[in-house]
Amino acid sequence: MTDQAELVAVEGKEIETHYVLARERIRRWNSTAKCYLLIENLPTPLQAGTAASATVWSSCGCRELLLAAVTSGGRAVHWAAVPAHNDTGGLCRFNYTEPKTGKRLAQRKITRADMGQVVPPKLKTATTSNDHLENAAIEFMAITTATKQVNLLSCKTIMQTYRQENESRLKVLLEEAEACIYDNSSCQVLRGKMTGAYMAAYSEECGFVPWERNIPKLTLPHNNQMVVVAQCTRIMLEDKILAKAETINATWNSWTMPTIAWVNGVPGCGKTTWVVNNFDVSKDTIITTTTEAAVDIRNRLAHRIGDMVRTRVRTMASVLVNGFREHVGCQRLIIDEALMNHFGAIVIAARLSRASDIALIGDINQLPYIDRENLFELRYSRPTLVANITQELLCSYRNPMDVAYALREVYSGIYAATTRIQSLQLKRFTDAAIPKSQTNTLFLTHTQEEKETLTSQGFGEGTGSRVLTIHEAQGLTYESVIIIKTKDKIKLHDSIPHAVVALSRHTSACTYYADDTEDAIGNLAKTAITAPKKRILVYNLKMAIKNRDKEVVAQQSRLLATQNGAE
């Protein structure tokens, strides 16, 4: 096939990657699973070239499928002469050309929107800050809608696979979704595992059905009692969030943009303490990302405001679902760990509260909001298009000095208020005798798979200890932290935000077990491990002086004098 030679414009590796995605779509569309793209058997001398055009043949005749299968992530594509679907099963020809810019765009991971599984948002042309705020809300609502669609597809696929009696594939799907097939009539689990409570279940006939708490059976048609419950149906608030957001859609033009203050803090600087100390019961409402954080802040404020903590300290989910009572509006919203939320959620919360001021408290270098389903390219996950950092908290009250030294290139001016100088260690993972039952220790992994493996081996069973992924550990403090990398290198290992979180959870000691430490955690840790104690101490003292922190300056001056005397 001579046209194959023209495919030099596309890298062989990209063809292979996107072909797998395309083939899965074809299998879903064609029950015979006999459709295929004729890019499977390309000639071996397929290298990244400079050709400006290429021709691809397909047996399915789908422009969208070819886009997903052939284009590299982020590459702009101009299509020409796209034919209609060929129902005869013959080959269809597609031509495309790259833009004549002479430059190749940065690659990005192909999204569900690229594959036609979800619909990306239609954003306004933004000319004002208010336009950006409205776009942020539009993007968040599109995420919420698309998440529901992905969850529906996941549960539907599980049920169809169960009906087809494909046990091997069903086992994989159930494990991936943490799901089970449940017989509502007999209250029995037929496949998979069922743990905890669920807000909803998937029914072939009814879609997602609410599951009321403390009611053993769902309300379902008598002849269709089989359902799927999964991780995604444990907390299912999408419909309620979208309904509440609809109540503000008509009034964007009359809304005055709130004043935004953005407080950025280093790990262990006391961001939650800042929230508590700056809270004014007469005008403020605090919004947290997690229930645990809300409970913590309520406990700290209970002696000051009593029962009002229930209405003045709330989770973001509660605000998005329930809004605000008429008499409990507020002048200022304080958003704790703000950057873990999509900025559109914060905008909607501000609209619902009618607040004139927003205080964002967070850390721009730690883990941000994550689109776990890879729905579509996000533009408004952070507030950077409408706000700048107005205050920085640079002193860590949690970590030893070597952590501040290791993170100094991530956080300009970071320093520690503690007296411990060294705490970081690197050790080989293979054949290591890791103390799995150690008390008051946080065991960290990069992935859920590693977490489950370590848990099954007895790690984290010591008093006060637990095993978490790095993402789950953001905001936590432990005396001792052990980071374990069991997998070969993956992209996540080079993530600076993950490294920052992992290296900054401890007050006393942190050890990284890995056979290959040429990654973000290892490289940051090495800068401190290889530095002399005096250099770390001098750096820390200089930063404290620069920030006019008299208490830390006095404390560490004494330490430096002792260090000099010992020499």
DSSP code string of 224-289: --EEEE-GGGTS--HHHHHHHHHTTGGGSTTPPPPEEEEEEE-TTS-HHHHHHHT--TTTEEEEES
Dist CA 52 CA 376 (whole Å): 27
Q: Which amino acid is located at 155 in the chain? A: C
Domain 250-395 matches domain 416-533 at the CATH topology level: yes
Q: Where are the domains of the chain?
A: 2-97, 139-239, 250-395, 416-533
Structure tokens at 461: 């069973």
Q: What is the pLDDT along the chain (567 residues), one digit of tens a residue?
A: 333 333 333 333 343 344 444 444 444 434 333 333 333 333 333 233 323 333 333 333 343 434 434 333 333 333 333 333 333 333 333 333 333 443 443 456 788 888 888 899 999 999 999 999 999 999 999 999 999 999 999 999 999 999 999 999 999 999 889 899 999 989 899 999 887 789 999 999 999 999 987 787 888 888 889 999 999 999 999 999 999 999 887 777 778 889 999 999 999 999 999 999 999 999 999 999 888 889 989 999 999 999 899 999 999 999 999 998 876 668 999 999 999 999 999 999 999 999 999 999 999 988 788 888 889 999 999 999 999 999 999 999 999 999 999 999 899 999 999 999 999 999 999 989 999 889 999 999 998 889 989 999 999 999 999 999 998 888 889 999 999 999 888 888 999 999 999 999 999 999 999 999 999 999 999 999 999 999 999 999 999 999 999 999 999 999 888 877 766
- The half-sphere exposure of 330 on its side-chain side, counting CA atoms within 13 A, is 27
- Which residue(s) pair with 506 in the sheet? 478
pTM: 0.74
Please provide residue 510's backbone torsions phi and psi, each rounded to the nearest 5 degrees.
Answer: -145, 125
Q: Which CATH architecture has domain 416-533?
A: 3-Layer(aba) Sandwich (3.40)
What top-level class would CATH report for the domain 250-395?
alpha beta
Among residues 20, 121, 32, the alpha carbon closest in space to that of 344 is found at: 121
Instruction: Sheet with 441-445: list strands edge to edge.
Output: 424-427, 506-513, 478-484, 441-445, 466-469
**DSSP code of 72?**
P
